[in-house]
Structure 1
């Protein structure tokens, strides 16, 4: 165990560099768990570390890649001190993040005494512009962390809609007869002035329904940060996620600390990275939640790739009912990032006729374009934008 402790601390640092929330408490819990399992059993060793160091299902893939890289030779006491080969570009994003987190993977920093190097920046793009255009799936751990920080700064001021309520306003466009009569009673019935009022305007409710199935898992990881930012930025936001079933995560995402919020989501979410049943999820939403959250001209953001495991049976009817229950139904689809996208899947063909807008959501620029659209002029007649 004396030789294992430094390895365990080094492995915790690798997980932190890969973007996972692993601290001293997780390392201590892992050391305690390893004292109860045979170290020669690799499967039990992996299970003990994952059970004590990882709190969210969407971090399992990165953990497994880091585990395979770090503990690939159990006979060597400490392997984390040397450089490791980077995986090929075709490797999955989780494997790239894990490889970049290994010590020695990052390029060396120029020494302080190195001569100053000048470069011609003409006709080149900045790192920020590249990050804005980079696909979430292709981002490294450092780029994902920066993207999450920028998403938390996004502001979503929906265009305000008039309500049925009025408030007193001396310059309001409408005369308030009741207030005028009440004021005249204080003067013996004499009307000294006409009280006026103005209709109250407020942003409509916003409902986010996000697909967290296997085909959407990598995008759902960062889109949950977008949902968390929106949930904590404005009132009347309701968040739902679905894979094979629909789960209301509104209360969990209201926590200001993103890690605490996502840990709460992982505890109530039974089907992360599983199958997809869009029709059943939308039907359940229509029956149980639509009348509660879709009042006053609500806007619905449906985040999914449209790939339904059930063959899209009943999806068209559920989507049509949802469309007629809200003012705007906006479908955010990461598959639109492909220039040659064609609606060939049955689920995509069933959804398309019933949405007001079909937009891409795969990088920071697409999220900013969505924010600009929602902050602009909304439509009252429900026609496609």
Structure 2
């Protein structure tokens, strides 16, 4: 980011300004505790910010410890230290009555979250009543429902801090069960639909060869495993976090029907985070998963990561008719031939492969990227995954074996 017009406060107020800046970062979700504030003050005093860029990178080195924190830090920094007109734009996003700067452009990712953090505790514009005059407040319960319905269709990337927190609570309540698989093996059952002749003959042998009663059996039921391959590259970061919350809820949901839930993240390399999904606390689970996956917000090598999965993990966890969810935008930088081969191998190992792609939210989406064209023929269903409603639609894809989502339409475009 540029720092040419950076305006620094007076030195006597610098400590206070850094403290308030750290408070805004903490509200936005960054771990900006007292220790980091003290480190930042000492670091700024040591560098003396002779160059404007030094001040930005000094604070970033003190407060940013993970790649996913950079966007929020940059937006809060710009709000607090640089552009007063940008603050007006952010206030207008939070109070729709204001106009002007907000009409010039749409908020980018993390801007609304940064604005809420910086304006945390600031009173919004409320109508002032004459002194002594009372007002009657009416509560309409329908507003709560309409707000929740609106949240279900809101893009994850455009959610504020409060909206994302509410979205996570909604995702934790989603039911994501799967119909059982009917095995060719059977099990003993008092009123089973089938006669177990082998057990009947064994029972008759103990009765002098006389058949006293018929033993019954029923088909054995087994449950498939769920394998999720989640893209955590820069273009997928916001969506991946929401999907991981969703997978954590599925992994800890009793009676969902899954034999086991396996989770993998990939960007430039493949990381197994399955053991972290079993932790009861979702924040602790995702913090541990984020610490293990070192390629957050990086590049994307889908083909190489899928090849690694096929080689190292496929035989271990795909032997029970597993259902595979691939959450990615399909924008790969490797050769499409290698990606196509890896997808074909994956499809042979899985019972079903469902591709969840946030890019499908655009009405004009077409399979033009080489990675998308290489992956599309090797999936069973192709669905959107940019909001709560789209993730809830995955239940339909699993309950209906013939569900293809948008694959048929896009395949016609691909072969046209």
Common fold: TM-score over 0.5: yes
Of the three residues 229, 248, 253, the one matched with 2:249 is 229
Secondary structure of 2:224's counterpart equals coil
Work out whether residues 183 and 221 of structure 2, in 8 Å CA contact, stay in contact via their aligned partners in 1.
yes
CA distance in structure 2 between the partners assigned to 1:319 and 1:135 by the alignment: 28
Equivalent residues, number = 363
- Residues 202-241 of structure 1 mapped to structure 2, 5 A cutoff: 202-233=222-253, 234-241=258-265
- Residues 1-385 of structure 1 mapped to structure 2, 5 A cutoff: 10-11=20-21, 13-18=23-28, 20=29, 22=31, 27-34=33-40, 37-39=43-45, 40-41=48-49, 42=55, 43-51=57-65, 56-72=66-82, 84-87=87-90, 88=102, 89-103=105-119, 107-108=124-125, 115-116=135-136, 126-177=146-197, 179-180=199-200, 191-233=211-253, 234-374=258-398, 376-378=399-401
CA distance in structure 2 between the partners assigned to 1:12 and 1:38 by the alignment: 14
Report the equivalent of 2:413.
none
Greater Cα shift, 231-240 or 138-147: 231-240
Secondary structure of 2:227's counterpart equals strand
Normalised TM-score (structure 1): 0.82
Work out whether residues 163 and 296 of structure 1, in 8 Å CA contact, stay in contact via their aligned partners in 2.
no
Return 5+ residue gaps in structure 1 as ranges. Answer: 74-78
Q: Deviations over 1:83-122 (max 9, x none)?
A: 9423345231212210122226663456896534779999
Q: Deviations over 1:200-232 (max 9, x none)?
A: 213311111111111212221212212222222
Q: Deviations over 1:120-156 (max 9, x none)?
A: 999xx92122111111112222111111110111121
Secondary structure of 1:259's counterpart equals helix
CA drift of 1:191 comes to 4.4
CA distance in structure 1 between the partners assigned to 2:352 and 2:182 by the alignment: 16
Work out whether residues 30 and 63 of structure 2, in 8 Å CA contact, stay in contact via their aligned partners in 1.
no
CA drift of 1:159 comes to 1.2
Work out whether residues 58 and 221 of structure 1, in 8 Å CA contact, stay in contact via their aligned partners in 2.
no
CA distance in structure 1 between the partners assigned to 2:134 and 2:203 by the alignment: 80
CA drift of 1:240 comes to 0.9
CA distance in structure 1 between the partners assigned to 2:127 and 2:197 by the alignment: 77
Normalised TM-score (structure 2): 0.77
Q: 1:36 to 1:175 in 2, by over 3 A?
A: farther
CA drift of 1:342 comes to 1.1
CA drift of 1:2 comes to 11
CA drift of 1:63 comes to 2.7
Return the structure number with greater relative CO, CA threshold 8 A, min gap 6: 1
CA distance in structure 2 between the partners assigned to 1:99 and 1:265 by the alignment: 28
CA distance in structure 2 between the partners assigned to 1:178 and 1:13 by the alignment: 73
CA drift of 1:188 comes to 6.9
Greater Cα shift, 237-246 or 41-50: 41-50
Q: 1:10 to 1:192 in 2, by over 3 A?
A: farther
More helix per residue: 2
